[in-house]
Amino acid sequence: MTKSLKSSSLSHNEIMDQLERILSSQDFHASEQRRAFLKYIVDQTLAGSEGELKGYTVATKVFGRDTDFDQKIDPVVSVHAGKLRRAMERYYLTAGRDDPIRINIPKGTYVPTFTKQSGYEEYDLSESISSNEDRYIASWPTLSILPFENLSGDPEQDYLAVGLRTELADELARYQEIRVLVVNPLRQGESPSVGIARFVLGGSVRKDRSTIKVTVHLKDALNDTQIWSDAYQSDFAAAKLIAFQEEIAQVIAIKTAGERGVIYKTLSAESRNIPPKKLKSYEAILRYYDWDLSHTPERLLRALEALETALKVESTCGQAWGMLGLLYGFAYTLEFPGFKENFIYRALEYCKKGVQLNPANQRSRARLALIRLFNDDVAAAKNEIDFALALNPNSLLMLDGIGYVLTLLGDWDRGPALIRRIMRLNPYYNRVVHYALWVDWFRQDDYDKAYMETFNFKQPPVFWNPLMRAAALGYLGRIGEGKKALGELSELKPDFQGRGRTLIKYYIKFEDIIEKMVDGLAKVGMRLN
228 versus 276: the higher-pLDDT residue is 228
The pTM assigned to this predicted structure is 0.70
Q: Label the pairing between strands 199-207 and 149-150.
A: parallel
CB 164 within 8 A of CB 205: yes
Q: How confident is the model at residue 520 (pLDDT cuts 50, 70, 90)?
A: very high
Least confident of 265-279, 374-388, 503-517: 265-279
The pLDDT score that the predictor gives to residue 139 is 62
pLDDT of residue 94: 67
Q: How many residues would you count in the chain?
A: 529
Count of H-run helices and E-run strands, the chain: 23, 9
Determine contact, residues 53/44, Cβ cutoff 8 Å.
Answer: yes
254-263, 389-398, 492-501: which has the minimum mean pLDDT? 389-398
143-157, 198-212, 509-523 — which one is most confidently predicted on average?
509-523
**CA-closest candidate to residue 409, choices 382, 435, 388, 375:** 382
CA distances from 299 to 10, 27, 269, 304, 308 (A): 48, 40, 15, 8, 14
pLDDT of residue 220: 93
Q: Checking phi first, is residue 295 left (phi over 0); if not, alpha (psi -120 to 50) or beta?
A: left
Domains in the chain, please, with CATH? 2-117 (no CATH), 129-252 (3.40.50.10610)
State pLDDT tens for residues 301-323. Answer: 999 999 999 999 889 888 899 99
* pLDDT category of residue 484 using cuts at 50, 70 and 90: very high
- 278/37: higher pLDDT: 37
Q: Evaluate whether 333 touches 507 at the Cβ level (below 8 Å).
A: yes
Query: In this structure, what DSSP letter does residue 135 have?
Result: H
The mean-pLDDT minimum among 10-14, 284-288, 390-394 falls in 390-394
pLDDT tens digit sequence for 27-59 = 788 888 889 999 999 999 999 888 888 888 898
Q: Are 124 and 173 in contact (CB under 8 A)?
A: no
pLDDT the model gives residue 187: 43
SS (H, E, C) 207-255: ECCCEEEEEEEEEECCCCEEEEEEEEEEECCHHHHHHHHHHHHHHHHHH
For 334-380, how does the pLDDT look when each residue is reduced to its tens digit (9 = 90+)?
999 888 888 999 999 999 999 998 887 888 999 999 999 999 999 99
d(CA 303, CA 289): 9
154 contacts 232 by C-beta, under 8 angstroms: no
pLDDT tens digits, 178-202: 888 776 554 444 454 444 688 999 9
What's the rounded Cα separation, in Å, for the pair 440 and 513? 10
pLDDT band at residue 471 using 50, 70 and 90 as cut-offs: very high
Cα(472)–Cα(452) distance, rounded to whole angstroms?
9
What value does the mean pLDDT of the chain take? 85
Residue 239 confidence (pLDDT): 64
Rounded Cα distance between 495 and 481, Å, is: 21
> 109 Cβ partners below 8 Å, 6+ apart?
53
3-state secondary structure of 280: coil
With both helix axes pointing from N to C terminus, report the angle between 76-93 and 32-46 in degrees, rounded to the nearest 10: 90
Q: Is the pLDDT of residue 119 over 50?
A: no
Give per-residue pLDDT as tens, 121-142. 222 223 333 333 333 334 688 8
**Interval 87-101: pLDDT, tens:** 887 787 667 877 888
Cα–Cα distance measured from residue 101 to residue 111, given in angstroms and rounded to the nearest whole number? 16
* Contact of 325 with 351, CB cutoff 8 Å: yes
Start-end of H helices in 334-374:
343-357, 362-374
pLDDT at 77: 86
Q: How far apart are the first and last CA of the chain?
A: 43
Distance between CA atoms of residues 526 and 498, nearest Å: 10
Closest among 127, 78, 178 to 397, alpha carbons compared = 178
Q: What's the mean pLDDT in 436-461? A: 94
